[in-house]
Structures are given as structure tokens and as C-alpha cells.
Amino acid sequence: MSKAGERMLHCPYCGTNVKEDEQFCIKCGKQLPSDIYHRMNRKKKFNKFWFLPLGILLLLLISSSVFYLVLLNYSTQAKELFEQGGESVLNEDYEEARVLFEESLNYKKNFPQAAVSLDFMNKALTVEAAMAQSTDLLEKQDYQQALSLITEAENDLRNFNGPAVNQLIEQIVTKRNTIKIAQLENVLEQEPNIDNLKILLWEADAINDPDANSITLDIKNQIIDFTFSRASEQLNKKQFNDAYILVEDGLKYAPDSEKLLSLQTTIENEQDAFETAQQQRLEQAMNTAAEEQQVNENDAIDLLSAAINSDDQGRLVVKGEVKSVATIPINSILVEYALLNREGIELLSNEIYVYPDRLYPGEKGNFEFTHFDMNEQGKNLEIVVNKITWYTD
């Protein structure tokens, strides 16, 4: 009788059960072939104790392989959906791109690029909605609210970069410029005063757009015309400092204006002459003018044209052209004219300097003056040039 848990072997000669560590059979007395039984024992031991672990290991290997293949397939699918989403972004189809990035994340949760792109798509759709709303506000002339929406939309993109972001920002900039230009045009229709025009000039100049450039030029011309007219009035009154200050201020907004630069030179020359030899200059001017007019009225200056027109704001503008037929340079050419109504009654007289300040033989000069305080239509008036005076070196 064997003890519980004690391993037994069979004698190959008589079949009697013997203990594993016995060398002789207890029945037949024959020596047991230990090498054979040890191998048999090991085989039985192997079959009994190792078959199950090996099976489990094999199952794990197969399961791991299948799981790896599934993950690989999911990763491939996620990448393909991500690339399709990128194409949709470049085509500006942000809703489709959002869906594709979302599906990509469903296949692969740990996909930072897709997560960032999905976040960007949500922002892009918000920006699109803001721009659409700003268009509605623009039609209602609610410019400030429209600009606020555009600014908020731009701020939403601050944490993103790349071609798609740049593409969206360009749209935002274009929309902002469109709103600002519409706002400027609306304000200009209200005929703002000179101080407001100066503010509007900086706003228009800050907009990088061809349409804004034309508005900028129009505002500059209005400032130039106003400055020239007011400074000329002060100059005619011999208020040289006031005239110079006006021109200097106008040049801040139109530094390349030939019209204002020429007037500035004229003011300087007139002031210098007035301070150094006022009486002599006045006598010389009167004597020269009288002598030239009496001897040969057209020897020095030919009046080529003088006309009255109306500008876009309905203000009267006097324009004219002269030509030097002198044989020496002449400067500080002063045109005196009067405006008559249809009955020939003089409504006003005025003096205006020709620009450029100095004319050489054969050169032409122009004069122009805007009458801001006149409401008459230009076609109802007649201009008469009474006298032209000038100085010689």
C-alpha cells in the first residue's frame, strides 16, 4: 500500500508497483532499469505539469499578435483619417475636417496631432461663424460690434500656428479691412471737419488695402486744399507766422505736397522781405507791377486759363494757369481776381500765389483756391483776373 502523494512506478518484468526511488522490484527482485524509468517519469511529469502553461503561453502569444495587428490597423486608419482632415482644412471645409479628426481620435485615443487639430477646427468653426455675423452687422452699419467680433476671432487663434492658421488669419484681416473701409466711407459722407479728417487720415493710412489707398489720397487732398486756402488767407493778411504754422501742420499729413511746399517757400520769402525791407519791397512791388503793366502787360506773364469749378463736396474751386514769357526768372507771382454773378456784380475779390514759387522763362505755374464759405454754383459765377504781379531777382 503506497502512502498518499507517493509516486509509484511499474516493474517492466512483472508489473508490480514499486516506489520511484527503489532500485529492485519487491516482487521479482530484479533490478529496475533506472534510466528508462527516469525518462518515463520525466515524460509523465512533463505531460502532467507543463502542457497547460505552454498552452496558455501559446494562447497569449496568439492573442498578443492579434491585438497588435488590430492596434496597427487602428493606427493606420487614424493616420489616414488625419491626413484626409488636413486636406479638408486646406480646402477650408472645416466642418468635414472636424468630423474626420474626431473619427481619427476614435481609432486612436493617444493621437496628440489629431487632438490639437480637432481643437483648432472647433476654433475655426467659431471664427467662421463670427465672420458671418460680422457681415450681418456690417450691413446694419454696426461697425464697432463687427470689429469686436473680428478681434475676438483673431484672439481665438493665438495659440495655433501653421499654413491653415495663416490662411484663416488672412481672411480675418481682409474682413477687418472691409469693415474699416466701409466705416471710413460712411464717416466721409457726413463731411467731417478738418480735425476729424486728420484723424481719419491716420486710420485710412493704417489699412493695407488698395481701396483704403484711394480713400487716403482723397482725405490728403482735402487737407491740402483746406490748408492751402487758410494759409493763403493769412499770408494775404501778412500774418506770416499763422500762415507758416498752418502749412507746417498740413505738411505733417501730406509731406510730399508740392502745393504746400511751394506755399511754404513763398511764406518764408515774403516774411523775410517784409521784416528786412517792408517799405522798399512794397514800393518795388508797386513800381514793378505798374511799370510792367503799362509798358507791356504780357511781357512777363501770360494768363493761360482761369476757371471756376465745384469739388465733390460742392465747394467752389478757382483754378488757373500762367506762363512766364520773361527773359529772367520771376518769383512770388500774385494773381488778383474777382468773382462776379450773372449781373456782373462783384461778390468778392481775392489774391492767390502761383506755385511753384519761381518760374524760369517758358515755364508754367498754377494757382488754385477753394472757397469754403461760398454756396454759389460755379456755373452761376464768372472769374475776372484783375492784376498779376511778380518779383524779379
pLDDT at 205: 86
When pLDDT is averaged across residues 262-272 and rounded to a whole number, the result is: 90
Q: Which residues contact 313 (CB under 8 A, 6 or more apart)?
A: 191, 222
Give the residue among 65, 61, 67, 111 at the shortest CA–CA distance from 85.
111
pLDDT at 67: 47
Which is more confidently placed, 82 or 365? 365
Q: Tell if the pTM clears 0.75, that is, is over it.
A: no
pLDDT at 44: 47
Which is more confidently placed, 161 or 236? 236
The rounded mean pLDDT for the chain is: 78
Q: 334 near 281, Cβ under 8 Å?
A: no
Cα 238–chain centre separation: 47
Q: What are phi and psi of 322, to 5 degrees?
A: -130, 165
pLDDT at 295: 46
pLDDT value at 380 more than 70: yes
pLDDT value at 280 more than 50: yes
Give the residue among 76, 11, 66 at the shortest CA–CA distance from 37.
11
When pLDDT is averaged across residues 341-365 and rounded to a whole number, the result is: 91
pLDDT value at 1 more than 60: no
When pLDDT is averaged across residues 336-350 and rounded to a whole number, the result is: 91
pLDDT at 68: 47
Residue type, 385: V
pLDDT at 288: 59
When pLDDT is averaged across residues 18-30 and rounded to a whole number, the result is: 65
Cell triple for 188: 466721409
pLDDT at 203: 87
Cα 289–chain centre separation: 57
pLDDT at 276: 79
Model confidence pLDDT, tens digit, residues 213-242: 888 999 999 999 999 999 999 999 889 999
Model confidence pLDDT, tens digit, residues 93-152: 777 777 777 777 676 677 677 677 777 777 777 778 888 888 888 888 888 888 888 888
pLDDT at 290: 64
pLDDT at 71: 46
pLDDT value at 305 more than 90: yes
pLDDT at 24: 64
Model confidence pLDDT, tens digit, residues 44-87: 444 555 656 655 666 666 655 554 444 445 467 767 776 776 67
Which is more confidently placed, 246 or 53? 246
Q: Which domains does the chain have, with CATH numbers?
A: 8-49 (no CATH), 63-190 (1.25.40), 221-392 (no CATH)
pLDDT value at 306 more than 80: yes
Secondary structure, 3-state, the chain: CCCCCCCEEECCCCCCEEECCCCECCCCCCECCHHHHHHHHHHHHHHHHCHHHHHHHHHHHHHHHHHHHHHHHHHHHHHHHHHHHHHHHHCCCHHHHHHHHHHHHHHCCCCHHHHHHHHHHHHHHHHHHHHHHHHHHHHCCCHHHHHHHHHHHHHCCCCCCCHHHHHHHHHHHHHHHHHHHHHHHHHHCCCCCHHHHHHHHHHHHCCCCHHHHHHHHHHHHHHHHHHHHHHHHHHHCCCHHHHHHHHHHHHHHCCCCHHHHHHHHHHHHHHHHHHHHHHHHHHHHHHHHHHHHHHCCCCCEEEEEEEEEECCCCCEEEEEEEEECCCCCEEEEEEEEEEECCCCCEEEEEEEECECCEECCCCEEEEEEEECCCCCCHHHCEEEEEEEEEEEC
Highest average pLDDT, of 134-148, 289-303, 357-371, comes from 357-371
